[in-house]
């Protein structure tokens, strides 16, 4: 058994225990020597108190095999979930292969001086155990396209009938993201620029090389043989970097964080993200920056879409990279990064929640810190998963965005609190702080920073609710990501949105011992 297999097996069992899939948490037993549980093969596994997110986790000195854990999953699974269980088996194997492949390449990547996006991909997801699995990407393709390998590749291009553009789509790509050079000539489109190999009634769409086969299936669309425009993958993989200030988001025919979590781009999603960005610009603190995500195009096909993201000036470090090897040490000369980051994060997110009834799905992948001179600011991107209260926005004199996805609007304050706790508190704050600092200091810093942010709003009803759901709560709610993402079909789980499926809880790491 390899070290990586033992590492992954423990993470998988921890996740299944946390989500209590199949009543697995009920198998935890106290004996005179401590706490543990029996696996399906009769192996007794010692457990210890969980620091974050759950009550018990596999003890560090226990070495489990993946097969042992998955046999136990089969034993407790509902027969109706057999398809999901089989899919999770495959997901675990793919994740293990990806981990071992990365280990083989990591030293070489570090020698090349990778970007912060690549370094962020060195860090596993704080909660989802098989985050390295990209279902739909072969092992041979991972080094060519996955961010932890820091590759570079060229985009492919599809010629799309102009009539296929959805309303609100840009008529053409910005010049700095387009495949033609300054000296090239071609058929001019209505924007006045060369259209490379597209005619007057056609437009060019960038296509990720992994999505070429999907683009070819669309009627009336032709994929060009020539690849142009060199890019590098960011942490999200479906967003690629042209340069430090310009990213392009493209659909991929793969799944991450669960086989049901497809990385295509559904029609209307980009428009909703642009609407959310404009809302947040109106509500932003002076120390908060919003990436410009207003230039996009999409069709009715989920594999023909693009969005150009513009980033601000300054040194940009994804929040997920703060826990990567060497990053905080490198940033030390720029200040005490973690306390200042938590202050910026919690002050603004608490204000959004209390005053406007807005909760962001801005986790460690969608946030960055930006250093501009001696000033540090918070950068937010990818806002199509936020949740907002129409009633609270109207009460504050703010127009309610006309989101196409009705799931982005709710007047239920507890639904808003669920997002705040599971995204802002767990992933954006706690996972980062506890990963960077000694545990006692991390808990105290997080508790005090959140208390200070809530204190600015006194006895406001929404502040009282959020205080009750965080600082004063006996337990903190969590998401059942493996259950909703892979194991259980929506028809059985009842999840409207697999990224907002709850039903689990863990000890409150904010409370004083």
Phi first, then psi: give them for residue 355, nearest 5 degrees: -80, -35
Burial of 138 (0-12, 13-18, 19+ CB in 10 A): exposed
- Number of domains present in the structure of the chain: 3
Residue 500 reports pLDDT greater than 70: yes
* 231 and 97 fall within a common domain: no
The verdict on residue 373 lying in a domain is yes
Q: In this structure, is the dihedral angle defined by the CA atoms of residues 501, 505, 506 and 508, taken in order, positive or negative?
A: positive
195 confidence band (pLDDT: 50, 70, 90): low
Token reading at 6: 């033992």
Q: What percent of the chain is modeled with pLDDT above 70?
A: 96
191 confidence band (pLDDT: 50, 70, 90): very low
Residue 166 reports pLDDT greater than 80: yes
| pLDDT for the residue 186 | 40
Q: Render 222-254 in DSSP notation, one character per residue.
A: EE-S--EEEEEE-TTSSEEEEETTEEEE---S-
| pLDDT for the residue 171 | 86
The verdict on residue 133 lying in a domain is yes
- Which residues have C-beta within 8 Å of that of residue 372, sequence separation ≥ 6? 312, 313, 314, 315
Distance separating alpha carbons of residues 253 and 497, to the nearest angstrom: 19
Q: How many residues are present in the chain?
A: 513
Q: Which residue has the higher pLDDT, 497 or 452?
A: 452
Q: Maximum CA pair distance of the chain?
A: 80
Distance separating alpha carbons of residues 260 and 125, to the nearest angstrom: 17
* 330 and 215 fall within a common domain: no
Q: Which of 89, 112, 139 is the last residue of a domain?
A: 139
pLDDT in tens, 325-372: 899 999 988 889 999 999 999 999 999 999 999 999 999 999 999 999
Domain of 424: which CATH number?
1.10.510.40
Residue 513 reports pLDDT greater than 80: no
Rounded to 5°, the CA angle 112-115-116 comes to 135
88 CB neighbour count, 10 Å cutoff: 26
Residue 438 reports pLDDT greater than 50: yes
| pLDDT for the residue 335 | 84
pLDDT in tens, 84-97: 999 999 999 999 99
The verdict on residue 285 lying in a domain is no
The verdict on residue 192 lying in a domain is yes
Q: Are 421 and 469 in contact (CB under 8 A)?
A: yes
For the chain, the average pLDDT equals 94
Distance separating alpha carbons of residues 442 and 436, to the nearest angstrom: 8
Tokens 């200091």 sit on residue:
441
Token reading at 397: 């004199």
188 confidence band (pLDDT: 50, 70, 90): very low
Q: Which of 77, 111, 139 is the last residue of a domain?
A: 139
Which residue range(s) make up the domain with 186? Answer: 152-273
* 261 and 400 fall within a common domain: no
pLDDT in tens, 368-407: 999 999 899 999 999 999 999 999 999 999 999 999 999 9
* 348 and 467 fall within a common domain: yes
475 confidence band (pLDDT: 50, 70, 90): very high
The verdict on residue 413 lying in a domain is yes
* 355 and 448 fall within a common domain: yes
Residue 180 reports pLDDT greater than 80: no
* 100 and 177 fall within a common domain: no
190 confidence band (pLDDT: 50, 70, 90): very low
* 58 and 115 fall within a common domain: yes
Nearest CA to 232 out of 393, 391, 114 is that of: 114
Distance separating alpha carbons of residues 275 and 265, to the nearest angstrom: 16
* 481 and 337 fall within a common domain: yes
Q: Which of 246, 273, 300 is the last residue of a domain?
A: 273
* 111 and 220 fall within a common domain: no
* 200 and 269 fall within a common domain: yes
Pairing of strands 56-58, 44-49: antiparallel
DSSP SS3 for 123: coil
Segment 67-78 shows an average pLDDT of 96
Q: Render 193-219 in DSSP notation, one character per residue.
A: SB-TT--TTEEEEEE-GGGHHHHHTST
The verdict on residue 289 lying in a domain is no
Residue 312 reports pLDDT greater than 80: yes
Phi first, then psi: give them for residue 78, nearest 5 degrees: -70, 135
The verdict on residue 92 lying in a domain is yes
| pLDDT for the residue 181 | 58
DSSP SS3 for 350: helix
- Taking the alpha carbons at both ends of the chain, their separation in whole angstroms is 38
The verdict on residue 281 lying in a domain is no
* 387 and 461 fall within a common domain: yes
* 75 and 31 fall within a common domain: yes
Distance separating alpha carbons of residues 274 and 264, to the nearest angstrom: 17
Which stretch of 131-140, 178-187, 432-441 has the lowest confidence by average pLDDT? Answer: 178-187
């Amino acid at each position: 058994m390899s070290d990586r297999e033992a590492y992954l097996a423990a993470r998988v069992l921890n996740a299944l225990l946390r989500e209590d899939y199949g009543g697995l948490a009920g198998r935890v037993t106290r004996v005179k020597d401590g706490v543990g549980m029996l696996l399906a093969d009769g192996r007794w596994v010692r457990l210890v108190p969980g620091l974050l997110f759950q009550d018990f986790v596999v003890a560090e000195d226990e070495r489990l095999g993946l097969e042992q854990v998955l046999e136990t999953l089969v034993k407790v699974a509902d027969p109706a979930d057999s398809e999901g269980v089989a899919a999770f088996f495959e997901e675990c194997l793919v994740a293990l292969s990806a981990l071992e492949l990365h280990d083989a390449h990591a030293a070489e990547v570090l020698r090349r001086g990778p970007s912060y996006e690549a370094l962020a991909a060195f860090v596993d997801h704080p909660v989802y155990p098989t985050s390295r699995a990209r279902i739909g990407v072969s092992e041979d393709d991972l080094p060519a396209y996955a961010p932890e390998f820091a590759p570079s590749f060229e985009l492919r291009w599809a010629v799309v009938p102009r009539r296929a553009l959805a309303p609100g789509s840009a008529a053409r790509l910005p010049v700095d993201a387009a495949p033609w050079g300054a000296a090239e000539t071609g058929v001019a489109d209505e924007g006045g620029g060369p259209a490379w190999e597209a005619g007057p009634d056609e437009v060019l769409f960038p296509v990720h090389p992994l999505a070429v086969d999907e683009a070819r299936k669309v009627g009336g669309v032709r994929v060009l043989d020539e690849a142009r425009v060199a890019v590098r993958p960011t942490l999200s993989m479906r967003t690629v970097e042209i340069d430090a200030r310009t990213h392009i988001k493209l659909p991929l025919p793969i799944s991450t964080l669960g086989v049901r979590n497809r990385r295509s781009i559904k029609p209307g999603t980009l428009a909703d993200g642009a609407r959310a960005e404009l809302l947040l610009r109106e509500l932003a603190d002076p120390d908060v920056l919003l990436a410009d995500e207003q230039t996009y195009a999409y069709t009715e096909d989920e594999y023909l879409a693009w969005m150009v993201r513009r980033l601000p000036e300054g040194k940009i470090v994804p929040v997920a990279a703060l826990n990567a090897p060497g990053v905080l040490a490198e940033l030390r000369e720029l200040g005490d990064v973690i306390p200042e980051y938590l202050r910026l994060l919690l002050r603004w997110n608490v204000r959004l929640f209390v005053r406007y009834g807005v909760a962001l799905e801005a986790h460690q992948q969608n946030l960055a810190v930006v250093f501009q001179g001696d000033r540090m600011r918070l950068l937010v991107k990818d806002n199509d998963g936020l949740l907002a209260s129409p009633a609270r926005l109207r009460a504050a004199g703010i127009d309610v965005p006309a989101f196409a996805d009705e799931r982005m609007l709710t007047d239920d304050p507890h639904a808003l609190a669920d997002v705040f706790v599971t995204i802002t508190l767990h992933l954006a704050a706690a996972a980062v702080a506890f990963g960077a600092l000694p545990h006692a200091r991390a808990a105290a810093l997080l508790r005090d920073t959140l208390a200070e942010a809530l204190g600015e709003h006194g006895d406001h009803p929404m502040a009282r609710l959020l205080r009750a759901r965080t600082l004063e709560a006996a337990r903190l709610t969590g998401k059942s990501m493996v259950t909703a993402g892979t194991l259980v079909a929506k028809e059985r789980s009842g999840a409207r949105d697999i990224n907002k499926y709850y039903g689990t809880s863990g000890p409150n790491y904010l409370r004083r011992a």
